[in-house]
Amino acid sequence: MNIFKRKLSFEQQVSDIIFENSPDAYFVVEGHKFVHCNKAAETILAMPREKIIGLGPADFSPKEQPDGRDPVAAVAENTELALKNGWTRFEWLHQRADGTPLPVVVTLFFATIEGRNCVVSFWQDMREVAKLRQAEKAARETEQQQIADRQAAFTRIAKALHRLATGDLSCAIGDRMPPEFDPLRRDFNTTVKELASIVERLSTNSQTVWAASEEIRNGSDQMSLSIQKHAAYVEETAAALEEVATTAAMAESRAAQAGELVRDLSANAGQSSRIAESAIAAMRDIESSSTGINNILGVIDSIAFQTNLLALNAGVEAARAGDAGKGFAVVAQEVRELAQKSASAAKEVKGLVLRSSGHVQKGVDLVQETKGTLEKIVLSFREINSHVDAIATSTREQSIAVTSIKDAVSNIDRATQDNVAKVEEAAAVAHDLAAQADILNSLAAHFTLDNARPHIRLAANS
């Protein structure tokens, strides 16, 4: 029995030591009033125990807790929890008599002390914790503000990047940002400014390229049409020269044939001249023979005259002879008549010969004139032949020249066709260049510069 008492005495001593020496404030509450407390309670409330006893927790509670609850309702709620669970713990904001806030953690449990129903409450001073919490709250608020600032900065940067992604180069970020983001803002603005300058130069250059390509394209198209016309003209010229070459070749052939014909005519004319000379010689012989005949006829005429005289003399003598001379007279008469006929015939022949001589002389003159004409014709043929030879030579040279010209024109035609192909290629390149310039301009037009520098668009795309 004494051992048990000693044990209880020991526990009581321990309880007293804990109660008095604990850094936490201990209160015994009965009927909502403090009936006992320890030294820590005096320290935490900055009041002596005598003044604390008789007061209650409500005397040290503000009209409203930090969470907005009414203290009476909150106490009732916490008391209900303590009755239900046997104890409860919660944070509470008290205040000292001087109005200084006193945040604590209150632990409540019900106890029966010497038959009296009491509430034991001990408070843990949370002022340092509150300061730490305040500092933590301030740090959290600062961090949250920083996070909000970062979030706002990210949002502004994201919006600017989105505008930049859509081609809007008037997306420079104007207002300053938090220090860690302001260099990024300046770099972003510098990048946008440089990109705007590049796009503006690109737009200007694309406009220049487009205008130049348009000029090249128009010039190439006009040149292509002109060269095609020239090619058609050259082709027509080549065809005409082909006909001219064919005509020249035919003319050369005909000139050669004409030369041959003229040479044949010249030879025939020469032969005719020689035949005329032979005819003249024969006529000269006829004339000479006519002269001989005339001489012979003269002799015959002389003989006929003498025979006539002789016959006349014989008739005279026969008449003198009488009858004896009658027969002789008849013969003489016959001889005389024959002589007269011979003389008459000789005269006629002589007349014929003289007329023949005249005709022969006329023939000689005509043949002589024909010979002269033939000689002139031969000379003319020779001259014609020389002209024909010259024409043939000229025609041959012209044919060679026309052939050379035709070859040259054919080369020009081929060169013109090559030029047409090259010009068409150049025109195609110019069209491609214009299309690329349009693409560049479209890319440049995708970007929106600031209000001071509106879009630069090409006339073809505006």
Q: Are residues 264 and 412 both part of a single domain?
A: yes
Q: Is residue 201 part of a domain?
A: no
Same domain, 227 and 365: yes
Task: Tell me the CATH number at 112.
Answer: 3.30.450.20
Is 158 among the domain residues?
no
Residues 291-328 have pLDDT tens digits of 777 778 777 778 877 887 887 787 787 777 777 777 77
- Asked whether residue 144 is assigned to any structural domain, the reply reads no
383 in a domain, yes or no? Answer: yes
171 within a domain of the structure (yes/no): no
The parent domain of residue 40 ranges over 16-125
In this prediction, residue 50 has a pLDDT band, given cuts at 50, 70 and 90, of very high
Number of structural domains in the chain: 2
Q: Looking at 80, 101, 125, which one is the last position of a domain?
A: 125
Burial code (b: 16+ CB inside 10 Å, e: under 16) for 138-158 equals eeeeeeeeeeeeeeebeebbe
CATH code assigned at 250: 1.10.287.950
Q: How far apart are CA 44 and CA 54, in angstroms?
A: 17
Residue 3 domain-assigned (yes or no) = no
**Its pTM surpasses 0.85:** no
How far is Cα 402 from Cα 247, in angstroms, rounded to an integer? Answer: 10
Does residue 313 sit in the same domain as residue 416? yes
DSSP-assigned letters across all residues of 67-106: TS--HHHHHHHHHHHHHHHSEEEEEEEEE-TT--EEEEEE
Which residue has 């000029």 as its token pair? Answer: 215
The percent of residues in the chain predicted with pLDDT above 70, rounded, is 92
pLDDT confidence of residue 51: 92
Element (H, E) at 108: strand 101-113
Q: How many CB atoms lie within 10 A of CB 84?
A: 9
Q: Is residue 240 part of a domain?
A: yes
pLDDT at 8 exceeding the cut of 70 = no
Answer with the one of 94, 110, 125 that is the final residue of a domain. Answer: 125
Same domain, 290 and 396: yes
Mark whether 381 and 266 lie in a shared domain.
yes
Domain end call among 125, 140, 160: 125
How far is the C-alpha of 7 from the C-alpha of 17, rounded, in Å? 15
Residue 205 lies in a domain: no
How far is CA 129 from each of CA 21, 39, 137, 394, rounded to the nearest angstrom? 21, 21, 11, 131
